[in-house]
Each structure stands twice: as structure tokens, then as C-alpha cells.
Amino acid sequence: MVRRKPIELAAVATAAVPGLTPTAVSSAPDDPADFDSALLLDSEGKRWRVRSPRHAEASARLETEFLVLRAFAPGIRAELPFLMPTVAGSVRLGSLSTFVYSHLGGSTRSVEELTAGPDALAREIGVALAAIHDLPRALVSNADLPSYTPNEFRQRRLNELDQAATTGKIPPALLLRWEHALEDVSLWRFNPCVVHGDLHEDNLMVEGQRVTAVTGWTDLRIGDPADDFAWLVASNEQDFVDAVLAAYTSGRRDTPDNHLLRRAALSAEFALAQYLVKGIAAGDSSMVAEAEEMLDTLAHDIAEHGGQPISVEPLPPAAAAGAPAAGADGTVARDAAAPDAVPGIRAADDDVPAAVPPVTVLPVPAQPAVIVTPIPVEPAPVPAPAPAAPPATTPAAGPDDTSTAALSIVDAKKD
């Protein structure tokens, strides 16, 4: 699918939100494999965000996010220490739905900027994480969203590991390192909770030392809280991670389990395999090549430095002899073991040694720098207005509207 330029997304937004007149547009950080995104400025000085899916699965995620946002009643939103997006309108282009959101205050920052920030900002991130994980589980179950027990989640990852192994592109040492952690039952004793599921720096809006908003609610579920820490662990800034974890621990109603950061490190590493599988499924050769390069870098760093500790149980000594490859069917033998690893970076557990050079887990590539494009001021032909919906069911969304009332979906078809 050809990537939509920001100025094209601005045109789509005018169909989704009647009366919207964009005057400037810029690109917006997002997952480039799944979405085209843009930020708009309209004639009244208001700002908007447009997210357009690049394939059917991404479109389904945006539809799910709309249901999630609608499930957050005003009372629940009021208790959160941050703001959430409000859907202002949507438009269907073929089989894919593009959504327009009211803009939220603040701006995104890179991981480097966040980790170099003040301790107050780390505490804000920890408090935000705690608030998400303490959300009522009924919020997820009532919306018919996924819910996993610890064992179901572990088995799901094992299945994903087998799928990744069939590509033949994962270094065997990584396959066996991950499998050993997934077979380490003691690692998977945690209390499931509400999980954002796609938390990273591009979904945090920051202003000064405050987290003003959290976006990207496409993967809400009940599962492992460690998944929302994966991007933090991948930063390799342990002091920052410790500060976030301390604020998170004090803010949670439930005490976090001791192995949360170990599973977060596993999730950060395994995200590279998921990126590879996604690239192969999409037929994107550049994405596949990039994933292979990052996996090879990770395997090399682990071989040289030992890597972040993820397993509680030590690797079997017999594994030092070498790492057997995946079987003929692509799956990893369940009794195989990886080369013994040297304990590395500090994790959440008190018994983990420190002072070994960190392993760099490269994040999924982000969008290029934002470029602002003015919208031409020449008047454009005005299409015939769509029939007005009854006010009782489709109220207009103003700039301060925090409701998630049902929205009309406009079909945009070519003549």
C-alpha cells in the first residue's frame, strides 16, 4: 500500500470531521509499518491528530481503540492522572477506517530525552503506569477484549516463538535463550492486570515534568504488566528504570512481583522477532532486513556481554557446548538449551549482579522528523453536506468534549 502523505491525510480529515478546515499539517510519530499519521492545525487554531491504517489488521486495531475509548466513562477518566484521546470523527476508505482525534496537550519525546529528564518525570511515568494497571478489570471484560492468565500468556509466547523459528532467520542462541525463559515456570507467577499493550515513548504526551496524556489504546487487555515496561528496559538506563519502578510500586494497589523487569527484558528482546514476523507477513523486504540486522546485533551483544538476565533458573551447563538449531518443522525442541550466559545488568531482583556492559535492544524504527507543511489557502470546492444526524444520538464534538459517543462513519468513494 502506498504511504499517504500528511497533506493527503488532511484531506481525509475534512471528510471525517464536517467543518474542519486545515491550515497546516505535519507528520506525527507512529508505527510506520501499521499507520500513516499526521497532526493538523485548523482555521480556528485547534489541533487534531489523524491515524490512517496501512492494512486490515491495523484498521481493526483502530476500531478496537474506538470501543476502548468509549468504554472509559467520564468517571473513570476523571480518576486518571493523565488525559485520554477523544475520537472526533472517522471515515472509511474502502475497507479501512481512518480516525481523527482531538489533539491533547504536550508533545512526544525520545527515549533519550525522557531518560535524561528530571526524577520528577520518571515518577510521573511510574504513576501513570500504576494508574493503568489498577484500572478495573471489568473495563476490559465488558468490552470483550482479550484476557490472559499467566499460563495462557506464557503459552501464547511459546507459540509465537515457534512461529518465529519457522522463518529460519532468528539466531539459534536467541531462540534457545527465550525458550529457556518461557519454560522457567517460576518467572511466570504474576497477578494479571489491565495492560495498555502498546506503551512506548510515542504514546506518552509530556509537558515540562508532567505526563499530560497517554495515547495509542489499540491493544488494551488483561495480561502481564511487564509488557508495559519493555520499552523502559530497552533504554538500558537502569537509574531511570529504577526511579520509574519505585514510583510504580508505591502507586500500585497490588505489590508488583519480583520478576517483572526480567519478563520486561524478555519482551523487549522478543519484540525484534515479532517485528521480523510482521515484516515477512507484509512482504516488506527492507523491514525484514532491518529486523535481521537488529537480531544479529542483539545475539552478538549477548554473546560478548552476557545480556540482561531474564531466566530465574540458570541455564543447564550442557548448553555451553552449543545451541542446536530449530527442528525440521521450524519449532524449537523443548529440551534444548542455550549457551550459558553471564549475569548482566541489574534487574528488579535483589540477587542479580551488576556492572556488566549493557546489551542494546534497538527499538522499532520511528517516523522521520516532523516537517510542517502549510495547507494552500485557496478555497476548495465544498462537497454537498451529509444529512445531519439527530442531535440526541450524534452530538457534535467540541474542543473540550471528553465523551466517546457513537460516531457516524462516512463512506468516501471515488466517482
pLDDT for position 89: 93
Superfamily the domain 6-104+371-402 falls into:
Phosphorylase Kinase; domain 1 (3.30.200.20)
CA dist 309 and 349 (Å) reads: 10
Q: What value, to the nearest 5°, has the Cα angle with vertex 414 and ends 411 and 415?
A: 120
Of the listed ranges 270-284, 304-318, 400-414, the one predicted with least confidence: 400-414
pLDDT for position 384: 55
Q: Where is mean pLDDT largest: 33-37, 46-50, 161-165, 236-240? A: 161-165
Q: Which residues pair with 205 in a beta bridge?
A: 213
- State how far the alpha carbon of 391 is from the alpha carbons of 192, 388, 395, in Å: 41, 8, 5
Q: Where is mean pLDDT largest: 97-111, 126-140, 319-333, 363-377? A: 126-140
pLDDT(361) > 80:
no
pLDDT tens digits for range 36-72: 999 999 988 899 999 999 989 999 999 999 989 998 9
pLDDT for position 341: 36
Domain boundaries, the chain: 6-104+371-402, 111-321
DSSP H or E run through 71: helix 56-71
Express the helix, strand and coil content of the chain in percent, nearest 5 each. Answer: 40, 15, 45
pLDDT band for position 334 (50/70/90)? low
Residues making up the chain, counted from first to last: 415
Count of CB atoms situated within 10 Å of the CB of 384: 5
pLDDT(322) > 80:
no
pLDDT(143) > 70:
yes
pLDDT(414) > 90:
no
Of the listed ranges 55-59, 164-168, 176-180, 378-382, the one predicted with least confidence: 378-382
pLDDT for position 308: 81
Mean pLDDT of 304-316: 80
pLDDT for position 318: 47
Mean pLDDT of 120-140: 96
Contact 68, 39 (CB under 8 A): no
What are the grid coordinates assigned to 269, written together?
528482546
Q: Does pTM surpass 0.85?
A: no
Has domain 111-321 been given CATH number 3.90.1200.10? yes
- State how far the alpha carbon of 251 is from the alpha carbons of 119, 242, 244, 254, in Å: 16, 14, 11, 9
97 burial type by CB count under 10 A (0-12 exposed, 13-18 middle, 19+ buried): buried
Contact 315, 302 (CB under 8 A): no
Of the listed ranges 2-6, 89-93, 138-142, 346-350, the one predicted with least confidence: 346-350
pLDDT for position 369: 43
pLDDT tens digits for range 177-216: 999 999 999 999 999 999 999 999 989 999 999 999 999 8
Mean pLDDT of 251-256: 93
pLDDT for position 377: 57
pLDDT band for position 4 (50/70/90)? confident
pLDDT band for position 282 (50/70/90)? confident
